[in-house]
Amino acid sequence: MTKIAKRQNPIAEFLRETRSELRKVVWPSRQDAIRMTLIVIAVTLGMATLLGLIDYLFTVGFSRLIDLLGGPLL
């Protein structure tokens, strides 16, 4: 009979299980969260800079290659 009652209200069961799982979570300290956020920002800026530099080098390289070959190929 208990299983039938649980099946009748799956939303309540889901919320109970979710609450139970959230109690098991070990949350980072404020200092750890700030440190990890700064690391994510630094890595994001570094990757954006690297990709921008690669894009710039390809643009300049292909422009010079097109000029060397005598203009647009189309």
Q: Which pLDDT score, from 0 to 100, does residue 7 have?
A: 62
Phi first, then psi, for residue 22 (nearest 5°) are -65, -30
Whether 39 maps to a domain, the answer reads yes
Q: Which pLDDT score, from 0 to 100, does residue 74 have?
A: 60
Residue 72 has pLDDT above 90, yes or no: no
Please tell me the pTM assigned to this model.
0.63
Whether 73 maps to a domain, the answer reads no
Distance CA 63, CA 57 (A): 10
Residues present in the chain in total = 74
Structural domain containing residue 15: 2-68
Whether 16 maps to a domain, the answer reads yes
Whether 74 maps to a domain, the answer reads no
Residue 1 has pLDDT above 80, yes or no: no
Between residues 21 and 6, which one has the greater pLDDT?
21
Q: How confident is the model over 45-67, as pLDDT tens digits?
A: 999 999 999 999 999 999 999 88
